Amino acid sequence: MLSTDLRPSREGYLQGLLDAAEIDPRVLVIDGDVGRSLGTQAFRERFPGRCFNLGIAEQNMACHAAGLALEGFMPFYATYAVFAVGRALDQIRTSICNMALPVRIGGAHGGSSVGPDGGTHQALEDISQTRSLPGMTVLVPADAAQTRQAVLASLNMPGPVYIRFGRNPVPQVYGEEWPVVSGRGNLLHEGRDIVIVACGSMVAPSLEAREVLLGEGVDATVIDMVSVKPLDGKLLMETTGSAAGVLTVEDHQVTGGLGGAVAEFLAVNRPLPMRMLGVPNRFGESGTPGELMGLFGLSTGGIVTAAIDLARSRG
């Protein structure tokens, strides 16, 4: 399923915006002086009256998006995820979520994908920050095609939506035909022994890990939980009936993100042994994304090790 042809997910975000604007006159784009980085300058050229650059002022962006939404528009504002969410968290909470406004927040350069810029620029808390907000939908697509689909799907979702995507080229998990649905994860492979639940850039290495695990005698289910909130609890119940446990994998702090969401669900509905891969209560540092993934145990090898540990825990 994985294509060796790498593409950055941000390309999918831009394509999604262009396609969304063609079909939905409510769509506007708000830039925060990263238009050249995200490619939204192409949007400005195609839809010059529907794109506004508010400069380096994330709080102002979030509230302008709220104001535009109050007037019937569906603004997409995007900047680097660490600032799009963290810098404007109170604005997102009080001025967007509190009024259940249809603002779409694009969190670019999510996770460790902005590697060399270092810890200040690596968004590792954005999923937990957005997931805790009432009414917020949180989508973490795995590749460019799914990011485009997430943008298009968000047109029909109620309330605010956060879409987190990465900077660097990643393997293509999907063809364009896989739609994103709120509250729906994608079952990519069924296996007998354990269930791996991943999101974003961790889906591709999870699929690679599955192949390695087969050689180790472990047959893993792989789920892409693109909709972190609402979580696909039905899919978790359907796939974990005979599993030894669940392994979550995310390029995010190990607390409060996908792993936390899955753990919350399973603790109530089907307590199972779990292993949670993520960034362990620390900041990132400069390095290539590959080096950082290795440091955090988020490599294919790290997933394999954790999966074997989980599979053998049943004894």
Partner 1 sequence: MRRTILGMIHDAGSGHPGGSLSCVEILVLLYHCLMRHDPGNPAWPGRDRFVLSKGHAAPALYAVLADCGYFPVEELSTLRRFGSRLQGHPHMQSLPGLDCSTGSLGQGLSIASGMALGLRLRGSSARVYCLLGDGELQEGSVWEAIMSAPALGLSNLTAIVDNNGVQLDGRTCDIVPVEPLVDKWRAFGWNVRRCAGHDLDAMAKAVSGIMTGPSVLIADTVKGRGVSFMEGDCSWHGRAPDDGELADALAELGPC
134 touches partner 1 by CB under 8 A: no
- Comparison of 98 and 269: residue with beta carbon closer to partner 1: 98
47 touches partner 1 by CB under 8 A: no
Q: Which residue, 194, 199, 196, is CA-closest to 180?
A: 199
130 touches partner 1 by CB under 8 A: no
Cα separation, 103 vs 218, in Å, equals 43
Cα separation, 278 vs 259, in Å, equals 8
Residue type (1 letter), 311: A
Candidate ranges 64-72, 108-116, 202-210, 263-271; the one touching partner 1 (CB under 8 A): 64-72
Among 51, 66, 127, 308, binds partner 1 (CB under 8 A): 66
One character per residue 14-33, x = contact with partner 1 (rule: CB under 8 A): --------------x-----
1 touches partner 1 by CB under 8 A: no
Beta-ladder partners of 139: 163, 227
**Which residue's entry shows tokens 């969410």?**
85
Among 59, 132, 255, 305, binds partner 1 (CB under 8 A): 59
Strands 274-279 and 169-172: unpaired
Cα separation, 234 vs 232, in Å, equals 5
Among 41, 42, 86, 99, binds partner 1 (CB under 8 A): 99
Maximum Cα–Cα distance across the chain:
63
What would the two tokens of residue 158 be? 């109620």
Residue type (1 letter), 182: S
**Smallest distance from partner 1 to CB 125, Å:** 20
Contact 146, 178 (CB under 8 A): yes
67 touches partner 1 by CB under 8 A: yes
Among 2, 44, 47, 57, binds partner 1 (CB under 8 A): 57
User: What is the contact surface with partner 1 in residues (CB under 8 A)?
Assistant: 28, 49, 52, 54-55, 57, 59-60, 62-73, 75, 90-91, 93-95, 98-100
